[in-house]
Amino acid sequence: MNYNETGFRGFYHNFCVIPLTEKTIQSIEGFPGAETANGILVYGYIDKEAGLTLEVIAVAHVEGDKASFEEPSKEIRSFIRVGAIDPDDDFLYFDDEDGKLSDRYADRIDILHNYDANEQVEKTREMPFLDSCRHEHYPDDIMVFLYKEDLEPEGCWVRITGLGDHYFIGTLLNEPNQDFGYHNGETVAFFVQKTEDERFICISDMNPSAKITAEDLEDGTMLEAAVAKFNAERNEPNFLDILEILRDSYVWVPCNAIMSDADNARFQEMIKSAGDDLSKLKGLEFTAQDETRLVPDILKNGDEYFFPVFSNEEAMGEYGEHFSKVQKHMLEVIPLARNNEKKPVGIVLNAFGDSFILEDKIWDVVENMKSRIQN
């Protein structure tokens, strides 16, 4: 087998022996047995900045489809970028189901966990329908065609950073030649479409959505309508519509009022003074002398935490009767959720009705969206 046949998965997280060539021989200088070697035992991993990379484990002595290996160098770490490999050169693949190679070379393999991707990116590496759009040497870099009315479709490289139910998230790696409204280094969402000739292409719709006014968003009904539409038909346009409206919306956050120790002691003393007849407290006013902190409530579902927000006060229902209510812009809410000590996995809108969960992996997408508010 060769790289043209297997692509990056032939090497990725696998032990393989590649032939010794003029381009690779320098990688084993100083390794035990290098003088008589005719192959190199390597282990593949992905360095997102440098692409598919082969960690040099040991030199190999190859006879037919079998190979023996020397011990690794104790002083030298060496690697080979996949671009140095002739894609037509055959290599030997070693099935390590019994874990013998992993155990033998654990010291060399363990250090490569520093390059592990997040769970979403890892899933995208398992998607063969993306392969026709991938960079030959950088498996996370995808050719995405940007579309915008009155402009020509333009292909740009986008590095995948996350994955949703109906979309991919990535970072633009080059500056578009035309004015799409997005620039090198910014986060974009893109989707996969199948063409008439059964090919897959990746596209990002850069067309600005219809403008809205701040007044349109005031009572939260536009946001609720967008959620209802998406929940009825979960497609890309409806999903993006929610994100864009959320980006410009003010939402309500249920909070617990936390008094200072001194104020709490005064409050408890006031209750104590009433004795067994709490009716004596009726009509009394308590004024905090210190600052009262409003701490957002957090919802728990199984082992996961969610940061609740609501389109309006009415959407809280009876749940909201137990909390102070604070209205905040969504771009203020995201940092609150991101920095919360319970590490919520999502911001849940209208948790007790027609709800929508904004997953943590796309918070930055919303933050980087352009406003639809009409000046």
Per domain, the residue ranges of the chain are: 3-115, 119-205, 215-367
Q: What is the pTM of this model?
A: 0.70
| 8 A C-beta contact, residue 307 and residue 340 | yes
> Do the strands 346-349 and 304-309 form a parallel or antiparallel pair, or are they unpaired?
parallel
- Which pLDDT score, from 0 to 100, does residue 151 have? 93
Which parts of the chain sit beneath pLDDT 70?
208-210, 259-271, 273-293, 374-375
Straight-line distance from the first to the last Cα atom of the chain, in angstroms, rounded to the nearest whole number: 60
The rounded mean pLDDT for the chain is 88
Could you give the CA distance from residue 307 to residue 221 in angstroms, rounded to a whole number? 20
pLDDT at 143: 97
Q: What interhelical angle do 236-248 and 330-338 show, nearest 10?
A: 100
Q: Whole-angstrom Cα distance, residue 245 to residue 216?
A: 10
| Of 139, 119, 127, nearest in space to 3 by CA | 139
Pairing of strands 154-163, 66-69: unpaired
Which pLDDT value is given to residue 240? 83
